[in-house]
A = this chain, B = another copy of it.
Amino acid sequence: MADSIALTLGHLAGHLGATLRGDPDKVVTGLATLQDAGPGQLSFLANAQYRRYLADCRAGAVLLTSADAEGYPGAALVVDNPYLAYARASHLFETRPQVTPGIHPSAVVDAEAEVHPSASIGAQVVIEAGVRIGAGVVIGAQSFIGARSCIGAGGRLAQRVTLGHDVIIGERVVIQPGAVIGGEGFGFANAKGVWEKIAQIGGVRIGDDVEIGANTTIDRGALSDTLIGNGVKLDNQIMIAHNVQIGDHTAMAGCCGISGSTKIGRHCMIAGGVGMVGHIEICDNAFITGMTMVTHSITEPGSYSSGTAVQPAADWRKSVARFRQLDKLARRLQQLEKRLDTVTPAGDTASDA
């Protein structure tokens, strides 16, 4: 593992704005769950279902709400939101290797690219003409930055990230390995059965504080740009087609596929494996559960779903067979209702309903 980290509880309390209940000089050297944490580690209780682990917790200190801290005999860092405090503390224990400013000698950087002196360009990176790399940016080994693309200050590209030409990225954006931003969108016109390619002459614009997951692809626009708002978080292996727009602070889990020109609002949460057809709009604050097939626009905030959930295969086969008969079953039901009306009036059993 990385070089050891050692932080006093006093330092942590100051950093997190926490009220310390314990020895400020006590040292922790790592972070762990309530079950796993030892005396040298910091832990946290963010989910009520793990409260039962508090009694036997051996952690050096625990991030707790004041209510949870009351019954806890060990060292506590009392905060309003332990999960958020954990998020903020986690960066103190980062294991990622340090980088130093400068351009690795194996990198190929065009003479007409502007790289800020505080930026770090890794081994075998290729940077084309007209690129601008901001202050403090880290570009991991083997990444490619296409012509005229810009990366705002504080950005961090992991290894082997590919940005096509004319991709404009805001500040503090993090991109995981293998992501491709600015590939050509899937645009073809059909001429008597043969597909003719449409040049994809738009770019991609990405806001500040965005995160893009490993092997995720965001295509360049056909005419205007594909747009990713501020604070958007995209997990791995997501496919964002040309001219999609994603509103600020929307989060999307892995393996989603968003078709061309679809517009997703702000503060949406899209679970894993969701697919959306093209040219629809999803309003702000929509929550879409995993693997949902979104076939039309969503205009009201709230939760949305589709699909059927796992069953034993034998039961499932019966349901699936009946699913195919559903329309016939519904018609037979209607027929029965009519027949029964000839025998007994519908009102008869209404009081039982």
Report A's interface with B, CB cutoff 8 A.
Answer: 1-2, 31-33, 36, 81, 83-84, 86-88, 90-91, 93-97, 104, 106, 108, 122-124, 126, 128-129, 140-142, 144, 146-148, 158-160, 162, 164-166, 174, 176-178, 180, 183-184, 186-191, 193-199, 201, 203, 209, 211, 213-215, 217, 219, 223-224, 231, 233, 235-237, 239, 241, 249, 251, 253-255, 257, 259, 267, 272-273, 275, 277, 287-296, 298, 302-327, 329-330, 332-333, 335-344, 346, 348-349, 352-353
Contacts and interface: CB of A to CB of B under 8 A. Distances in A.
A302 to B, nearest CB: 6
A64 to B, nearest CB: 16
Given A108-B124, A178-B180, A199-B93, A307 B305 contact: no
A32 B222 CA distance: 9
A267 to B, nearest CB: 6
A307 B308 contact: yes
Contact of A343 (B211, B312, B344): B344
B213 A165 contact: no
A198 B329 contact: no
Contacts of A217: 178, 213-215, 236-237
Copy total for this chain: 3
Nearest to A43: B223
A113 to B, nearest CB: 12
Contact of A176 (B183, B272, B311): B183
A284 B18 CA distance: 44
B316 A32 contact: no
15 contacts: A84-B189, A87-B198, A94-B201, A96-B165, A97-B128, A183-B213, A188-B233, A214-B217, A259-B272, A275-B290, A306-B307, A319-B327, A336-B337, A342-B348, A343-B343
Contacts of A97: 128-129, 146-147, 165
Nearest to A190: B84
A329 B321 CA distance: 13
Contacts of A294: 309-310
Contacts of A87: 187-189, 196-198
Contacts of A316: 304-306
B309 A313 contact: no
A112 to B, nearest CB: 11
B329 A330 contact: yes
B304 A313 contact: yes
Contacts of A293: 273, 290-291, 307-310
A148 B97 CA distance: 9
Contacts of A273: 257, 275, 293
A350 to B, nearest CB: 8
A349 B339 CA distance: 5
Given A87-B189, A108-B141, A296-B310, 19 more contacts: A32-B223, A87-B196, A106-B106, A176-B183, A176-B184, A180-B236, A213-B217, A217-B236, A236-B239, A239-B255, A273-B275, A292-B310, A295-B309, A303-B312, A306-B310, A307-B320, A319-B324, A333-B336, A342-B344
B180 A215 contact: yes
A86 B209 CA distance: 36
Contact of A277 (B104, B195, B290, B296): B290
A196 B1 CA distance: 25
